[in-house]
A and B are shown apart, each in its own frame.
Chain A
Amino acid sequence: MSIDRRGFLSGICLLPAGLALPALAAGDTRIVSLDYAAAETLIDLGLPPVGVQSSDRWDRWVVEPELPASVANVGQDLVVNLEVIASLRPDLIITTPYTDALRNRLETIAPVYMVSVYDETKTPLKNAYRETRELGKLAGIPEEAAAFLADADKEFETLRQRLAKKKQPPVALVNFMDNRHVRVYGASALYQDVLDRLGIENAWTRPTNYWGFATVGLEELARTAPPDMHLIAFEPIVDGIKPTLASSPIWRSMPVVQENNFEVFPAVLTFGMVPSALRFARLLTDYLEGSDA
């Protein structure tokens, strides 16, 4: 690990965080990530992984930061291609509680570290900070991680101040499951923590599951949500849902649709870490500033 690179990195981290860092050559540590969240963090720390699960679907689920073309696809997260991982000769493999069942197999290839953002503490953003520091340590770039997190704090604060200039409406954050059901995010979701930091109210205050969402019918949402809420759906939305919604009387008569308070955001990694949290915060701030509610 050269001092020069570190200096360069801490310098560049003074720029707004999340700005895609120039693609450095893969550092000394060869990391395979079985999780998009850890991968996006490593990319923002300047040390992209050598392999990531389902890399061909990155642009559908994560979008930002961009995945370097050199990153190999190691297959699907629960049944990753062990032969490919072995051939990549990694120094470190990153799992999540979701994929940690593979630990025994993976440990025959390289040491395994489990990134745990969703747990009993139900504070995913705080956990994401902790895990980012841990990743920085493991990858041999602890200072870069610290600088990245400091910048993230700064940016959250800037965004919060921008939003505090006027009273903001509550927002409901959903993924469409089909044309009649949505996943709505609430307590113990990453989005909830971001809303808290930005001082925005969540329209969905009812119980959610371990991962911070509840699957509900649209009418359930309409029945329980405050009338002045803004409804934000994330891409990807399966083909065919938008036209069906357009013809649904229940949907069209919902106040949120009638008053044009429905917006579709580009994809944000729902179960992401700090980079996704920032991406969501930026998108939300831009949207709320542009709306005149």
Chain B
Amino acid sequence: MSTQALPNRAPWLSGILLLLAALLCWLLISAHLPTLLNAPAGYDIERMIALYSTLPRMVTALLCGAGLSLSGILLQIALKNPLASPTTLGVSAGAHLALVLATLFAPALVAFSRDMVAATGSLVAAGIVFALVSRRNFSPVTLVLGGLVVSLYCGAAATLLTLLNDRYLASLFIWGAGSLSQQDWTIPIGLAPKILVLVIAAGFLVRPLTILSVGDDAAKALGATPGRLRALTVALSVGLAAIITSAVGVIGFIGLAAPALARLAGARTVLSQIIWSTLIGGLLLFVTDNAIQLLAGPLSNFIPTGAVTALLGSPLLLLMLRKTKALQAPDARQVSVKRWTLPKSLTLVLGILLPVLLLIGSIVFGKSALGNWDMIFSSPAFDLVFELRAPRVVSAAAAGIMLAIAGVILQRLSGNDMASPEVLGVSSGAMLGLAFGVFFLMPNQTGSLVACATVGAFAIMGLILLMNRKSGFQAERMVLAGIAFTALLDALIGALAATGDLRSLLLLRWMSGSTYGATGSSTLVLTCLSVVLFGLSLAFVRWIDLLDLGPSAAKALGVPVGRARGVLFCLAGLMTAAATLSVGPLSFIGLMAPHIARQLGFSRAGAQILVSASAGASLMIIADWIGRYGYFPYEMPAGLISALVGTPFLMVLLSRRTA
């Protein structure tokens, strides 16, 4: 890397942060300094708080900030990706989910080693992200999309568990949003040696990583093994992030922001990047946390620092994403597709039959009030039960179809395997509208909440379309804008939930997504919409296929590129909004169904849309059925279940392809 062009101003930046930190520190503890130094007789709560709450909190902030930033910069160097960090790769979210799972189902594991549980979760999450994007040569944007999707998924699953246990898990909530509040020195004293060991280990990696930064071939010539070195570095970073998450919860985006600042200030060499990122990260979290304490006053204990850093950090991600746009490697569909052995005609017949059979079956088979399996005909309230059950099943199918098609369109247009309606921002818009309705209008009626959600979805979609009108609706940008909104919303909800306001539970229930609200009339509307939009999308297949060839080729073949993109995005947005309102923002059907279709060998737009729609409907019907009876009489949200059902299936398909 050419280094000396710019002077390294990172030391200056650190110096400024240090001064700021010292100032805040002084403001917070100067009043207690006399009593801290010589203990007064008797009980002095202010002194106890300064000594056992304020000071350990400061040390914890420094340690966590430094550790997360070190983790971030190591990931960035190893993956040659300026967007990598524990947050953007789903590592922190994976640790969080693992801890929630273990707390609920295997408390003995948590008692044995919190860190081990967290590390396992982090590794699994990272592994899934890498598996998802490995075919794309780890292109920076794709990796981050994959990571954020896994993050969302882990967050969603953690939410599901919280919903099923409501009040019991309230404590996990505050923790999940990353609270640095301390009651004694246990956490900083426990963290310090672990982090120190990993920092020393990182020290040994500096030289080989410097060689690697010259280029893989040069590194090989010098006798290094890039693959092994990368794996080792990633493992170390994941370990760091896991240990910190297990101690204080998810602190978002510090590991992304600090390295970015260090580089911006001029840190170029591997060594200086590592050193200054770590220092800046520690100071940055320290300053943020102390500023929160000063500004929020008595509330400070209770505003989770992790949610604040996420709120500040997600716009930064958007900025960075725009800058790294050029790094994105285009097109990946050149990979040869392993053909499924079934004849296509048979697959198509199955594709139509399967959802229909599932639809009927899932209406007929259910459970009685006492929890015994029975057929709907034997129910003492057949007509009522049918009226309640059938709309849900049909809504699930319609939503599955629309999400699947929206996914196909978005993946095609963006040329990005990881694009899906979840990251388009439309779902987030719907939830934002709901949040507004629940917190400010306090409507008690489901109808008005649906109206709020619809307005929100279209407002955000309009905003994104407007922002991208000039650039000709460039797909990558649209998806990036969407995902930034999603991350922002996630942070907002996290902060709201941590305040313990009962209304946030209501919001969470909506977010987790279920067909619970489906009624006869809403189902009729949804079904009609899905049929019309399905038809429309089939009418635009030619555009989709031609746009695939690239904008210039498409233009030459007579496609009005800008307008075609705009129309297709509107179509995808409409389908997403309609589906979100019935099954919630997070179903991952839109991500999985197009993949499933492609893995089955359907690569032309028309066939892919048909098979995706069938897969989407089937998955959603199954998910809804499991949601109704898996934890009877409690309801589990179909949106989340579909992610649980679909992900393993998707992984199997992906592994077939890479094999």
Chain A residues with CB under 8 Å of chain B are 51, 61, 72-76, 78-79, 81-84, 86-89, 97-98, 100-105, 108-109, 176-181, 183, 209, 211, 215-220, 222-223, 236, 238-239, 241, 244, 247-251, 253-255, 258
Q: Which of B120-128, B194-202, B398-406, B630-638 contacts A (4 or more CB under 8 A)?
A: B630-638
Give bound CA distance, A177 to B168, whole Å.
9
Give bound CA distance, A70 to B98, whole Å.
37
Query: Nearest CB to that of A225 among chain B residues?
Result: B45
Q: A79 touching B302 by the CB < 8 A rule?
A: no
Enumerate B346-400 residues with CB–CB distance to A below 8 Å: 366-370, 379-381, 384-385, 387-389
Q: A101 touching B445 by the CB < 8 A rule?
A: yes
Give bound CA distance, A61 to B381, whole Å.
31
Q: B381 touching A89 by the CB < 8 A rule?
A: yes
Query: Nearest CB to that of B509 among chain A residues?
Result: A78
Give bound CA distance, A103 to B444, whole Å.
9
- Residue B288 interfacial (CB < 8 Å): no
Q: A75, A89, A97, A223: which contacts B49 (Cβ < 8 A)?
A: A223
Asked, given contacts A217-B181, A249-B184, A250-B184, whether A89 binds B380 with beta carbons under 8 Å apart, the answer is yes
Asked, given contacts A75-B634, A81-B633, A83-B389, whether A177 binds B170 with beta carbons under 8 Å apart, the answer is yes
Query: Nearest CB to that of B498 among chain A residues?
Result: A215
Q: B184 touching A248 by the CB < 8 A rule?
A: yes
Q: Using an 8 Å CB-CB cutoff, how does the interface string of B454-496 with A read, 1 for contact, 0 for none?
A: 0000000000000000000000000000000000000000000
- Residue B46 interfacial (CB < 8 Å): yes
In this complex, the member of A84, A103, A179, A180 whose beta carbon has the largest number of chain B beta carbons within 10 angstroms is A180
Enumerate B592-645 residues with CB–CB distance to A below 8 Å: 628, 632-635
Give bound CA distance, A100 to B446, whole Å.
10
When distances are taken between beta carbons in the complex, the residues of chain B under 8 Å from A222 are 45, 48-49
Q: Which of B29-37, B134-142, B500-508 contacts A (4 or more CB under 8 A)?
A: B500-508
- Residue B543 interfacial (CB < 8 Å): no
When distances are taken between beta carbons in the complex, the residues of chain A under 8 Å from B635 are 75-76, 79, 81
Asked, given contacts A180-B301, A181-B301, whether A250 binds B52 with beta carbons under 8 Å apart, the answer is yes
Chain B residues with CB under 8 Å of chain A are 43, 45-46, 48-49, 51-53, 107, 163-164, 166-168, 170-171, 174-175, 179, 181-184, 186, 298, 301-302, 366-370, 379-381, 384-385, 387-389, 444-447, 449, 499-502, 505-506, 509, 514, 516, 519, 628, 632-635
Asked, given contacts A181-B174, A183-B500, A255-B43, whether A83 binds B370 with beta carbons under 8 Å apart, the answer is no
Query: Nearest CB to that of B380 among chain A residues?
Result: A87
Give bound CA distance, A239 to B52, whole Å.
23
Give bound CA distance, A97 to B175, whole Å.
29
Q: B53, B301, B381, B449: which contacts A87 (Cβ < 8 A)?
A: B381
Give bound CA distance, A238 to B237, whole Å.
32
Query: Nearest CB to that of A176 among chain B residues?
Result: B171
* Sample of 12 more A-B contacts, CB < 8 Å, known A105-B519, A180-B301, A253-B48: A76-B163, A79-B514, A83-B367, A83-B628, A89-B380, A97-B444, A108-B387, A177-B174, A181-B181, A181-B301, A217-B301, A223-B45
Query: Nearest CB to that of B631 among chain A residues?
Result: A75
Query: Nearest CB to that of A236 among chain B residues?
Result: B168
* Chain A to chain B contacts (Cβ below 8 Å), 17 pairs: A83-B366, A87-B381, A89-B381, A101-B449, A103-B445, A105-B446, A177-B174, A178-B171, A178-B174, A178-B175, A181-B302, A219-B53, A248-B184, A249-B52, A250-B49, A255-B43, A258-B43
Give bound CA distance, A17 to B175, whole Å.
42
Query: Nearest CB to that of B369 among chain A residues?
Result: A87
Give bound CA distance, A118 to B568, whole Å.
49
Give bound CA distance, A177 to B182, whole Å.
14
Q: A100 touching B45 by the CB < 8 A rule?
A: no
Q: B163, B181, B369: which contacts A84 (Cβ < 8 A)?
A: B369
When distances are taken between beta carbons in the complex, the residues of chain B under 8 Å from A258 are 43
Query: Nearest CB to that of A87 among chain B residues?
Result: B369
When distances are taken between beta carbons in the complex, the residues of chain B under 8 Å from A251 are 183
Give bound CA distance, A251 to B170, whole Å.
21
Q: A219 touching B49 by the CB < 8 A rule?
A: yes
Q: B46, B168, B634: which contacts A76 (Cβ < 8 A)?
A: B634
Give bound CA distance, A97 to B598, whole Å.
48
Give bound CA distance, A241 to B174, whole Å.
14
Give bound CA distance, A255 to B48, whole Å.
12
Give bound CA distance, A249 to B55, whole Å.
13
When distances are taken between beta carbons in the complex, the residues of chain A under 8 Å from B381 are 86-87, 89
When distances are taken between beta carbons in the complex, the residues of chain B under 8 Å from A72 are 369-370, 633
Q: B500 touching A215 by the CB < 8 A rule?
A: yes
When distances are taken between beta carbons in the complex, the residues of chain A under 8 Å from B369 are 51, 72, 83-84, 87-88
When distances are taken between beta carbons in the complex, the residues of chain A under 8 Å from B447 are 104
Asked, given contacts A84-B369, A247-B184, whether A73 binds B385 with beta carbons under 8 Å apart, the answer is no
Give bound CA distance, A236 to B449, whole Å.
33
Q: A216 touching B45 by the CB < 8 A rule?
A: no
Q: A84 touching B633 by the CB < 8 A rule?
A: yes
In this complex, the member of B48, B49, B499 whose beta carbon has the largest number of chain A beta carbons within 10 angstroms is B48
When distances are taken between beta carbons in the complex, the residues of chain B under 8 Å from A103 are 444-445
Give bound CA distance, A172 to B370, whole Å.
42
When distances are taken between beta carbons in the complex, the residues of chain B under 8 Å from A100 are 444
Asked, given contacts A79-B509, A216-B302, whether A87 binds B368 with beta carbons under 8 Å apart, the answer is yes
Give bound CA distance, A87 to B633, whole Å.
12
Task: Report the minimal beta-carbon distance from B187 to chain A, rounded to whole angstroms.
Answer: 11
Asked, given contacts A79-B516, A101-B444, A250-B48, whether A218 binds B171 with beta carbons under 8 Å apart, the answer is no
Task: Report the minimal beta-carbon distance from A211 to chain B, rounded to whole angstroms.
Answer: 7
When distances are taken between beta carbons in the complex, the residues of chain B under 8 Å from A83 are 366-367, 369, 385, 388-389, 628
